[in-house]
Amino acid sequence: MTGTDTGTDTAMLRVAGLTKTYSLGTSWLSRLTSSGSGTLKALDGVDLDLRPGEVLALVGESGSGKSTLAKILVGSTPASSGVVEHRGEVAPARRDKESSRRVQMVFQDPYSSLNPRLTVGAMLAELLLLHRVVPRREVRAESVRLLNLVGMEEDVLGAYPSQFSGGQRQRLAIARALAVRPDVVIADEPVSALDVSVQATILELFAALRAELGLSILFIAHNLAVVQHLADRVAVMYLGRIVEVAPTAQLFAAPRHPYTRALIDSIPRMTEASVNDAFELDGEPPSPYDVPAGCRFHPRCPLASEICRTTDPPLLSVGPAHESACLKADELALIPLPETTQEHA
């Protein structure tokens, strides 16, 4: 279990022993593209908690299982095994209106959560009335309040989603998620599809919302640099497992898993001289159809040795609030980071 130092009853969301397996089809194509295990393990024993008022980043390459975890947390897909708790209570497999209200999702593509046929005003009014957030006579004022929260004005109430830019649509998707006053927002790569300059403004918005509303946010990204200035803690995912979790500054200053180290080293820096390619990641991660034996990172790990091919390392404490699933976490700590790691934006 990660982050157990804050007690067991305070987490907004907690998952324990979570797995998600997809069965392979029996078509010739799926047999051809798999190595025959019959199942794909998208999540393979995930323990994680989201604390009240924190931004927890979930980071990992494409295919590591981030969206699968997000979908299980909002109840849009069931787990194969394991437990999901919301504020200490086990979340029902089929979410009722109230339990689905409490955990809201913001997607990479805001279009997927915005009905193109509804104006902004109609979209917000529908939600506010359905969940009885405010009485009908207060719907307009509440809609304006929500728009202001995300940096927009009353004059957009009559507009349709297609009339906005990508960044503005993401603001609307955030307003939509906030309309039902959730405890938790899960943002699944909310800036990945945006221009870099727009990304920064949306990241600032998440930071402001956390500060103003005390929201708990699970912020998913495939790029560590995106979350460095937003997240309180970072959980790093690899092939369906959390392989490291730590407070953000600690993770960047002293990563204790070679995969995290590779992600940090891959962040573009100011000078070529600062690049250290010892931890450079080669190629794509192995397929979750066929997870490597032993440590799942061993085929790509520069520190791998014989024991790594046979021993599957559990996530263990390596310092205050810091956990790593690497047999050589102590050895890694002795390898200095490139000098400018702390300076990149």
Ligand X SMILES: Nc1ncnc2c1ncn2[C@@H]1O[C@H](COP(=O)(O)OP(=O)(O)O)[C@@H](O)[C@H]1O
Q: Which residues here bind Mg ion, judged by CB under 5 A?
A: 66-67
Element containing residue 200 per DSSP (H, E): helix 196-213
Q: Which does 288 bind (CB under 5 to 8 A by kind): ligand X, ligand SF4, Mg ion, none?
A: ligand X
Q: Which does 326 bind (CB under 5 to 8 A by kind): ligand X, Mg ion, ligand SF4, none?
A: ligand SF4
Residue 40 interacts with ligand X (CB under 6 A): yes or no:
yes
What is the nearest approach in angstroms of ligand X to the Cβ of residue 93? 17
Residue placing its CB nearer to ligand SF4 in the complex, 171 or 300: 300
Q: Which does 160 bind (CB under 5 to 8 A by kind): Mg ion, ligand X, ligand SF4, none?
A: none
Query: Which of 147, 152, 303, 315 is the binder for ligand SF4 (CB under 6 A)?
Result: 303
Collect all residues with Cβ–Cβ distance below 8 Å to 28 and sequence separation of at least 6.
none
Is 285 strand, coil or helix? coil
Enumerate the β-bridge partners of residue 188.
220
What is the nearest approach in angstroms of ligand SF4 to the Cβ of residue 298? 4
Q: Which of residues 326-345 bind ligand SF4 (CB under 6 A)?
A: 326-328
What is the nearest approach in angstroms of Mg ion to the Cβ of residue 237? 10
Beta strand ranges found along the chain (DSSP E):
13-23, 39-50, 55-59, 81-86, 89-90, 103-106, 184-188, 216-221, 233-238, 241-247, 316-319, 322-324
Alpha-carbon distance 155 to 56, whole Å?
Answer: 34
Residue 67 interacts with ligand X (CB under 6 A): yes or no:
yes
What is the nearest approach in angstroms of ligand SF4 to the Cβ of residue 302? 8
Which amino acid, residue 9?
Answer: D
What is the nearest approach in angstroms of ligand SF4 to the Cβ of residue 114? 41
Alpha-carbon distance 70 to 59, whole Å?
Answer: 12
Query: Which of 45, 52, 63, 302 is the binder for ligand X (CB under 6 A)?
Result: 63
Residues 198 and 167 sit within 8 Å (Cβ to Cβ): yes
Residue 298 interacts with ligand SF4 (CB under 6 A): yes or no:
yes
Residue 50 interacts with ligand SF4 (CB under 6 A): yes or no:
no
Residue placing its CB nearer to ligand SF4 in the complex, 184 or 301: 301
Residues 53 and 215 sit within 8 Å (Cβ to Cβ): yes
Element containing residue 225 per DSSP (H, E): helix 224-227
Pairing of strands 89-90, 81-86: antiparallel
Residue 308 interacts with ligand SF4 (CB under 6 A): yes or no:
yes
Query: Which of 6, 39, 62, 271 is the binder for ligand X (CB under 6 A)?
Result: 62
Alpha-carbon distance 244 to 324, whole Å?
Answer: 4
Residue 22 interacts with ligand X (CB under 6 A): yes or no:
yes
Residue 139 interacts with ligand X (CB under 6 A): yes or no:
no
Q: Which letter does DSSP use for residue 132 in this model?
A: T
C-beta atoms surrounding 27 within 10 Å: 9
Decide: residue 95, CB within 10 A, 0-12 exposed, 13-18 middle, 19+ buried.
middle
Q: Which does 68 bind (CB under 5 to 8 A by kind): Mg ion, ligand X, ligand SF4, none?
A: ligand X
Q: Which does 190 bind (CB under 5 to 8 A by kind): ligand X, ligand SF4, Mg ion, none?
A: none
Residue 313 interacts with ligand SF4 (CB under 6 A): yes or no:
yes
What is the nearest approach in angstroms of ligand X to the Cβ of residue 243? 13
Q: Which does 297 bind (CB under 5 to 8 A by kind): ligand SF4, ligand X, Mg ion, none?
A: ligand SF4
Give the full edge-to-edge strand order of the sheet including 241-247.
103-106, 184-188, 216-221, 55-59, 233-238, 241-247, 322-324, 316-319
- Which residues here bind ligand X, judged by CB under 6 A? 22, 40, 42, 60, 62-68, 288
Residues that bind ligand SF4 (CB under 6 A): 257-258, 295, 297-298, 301, 303-304, 308, 313, 326-328
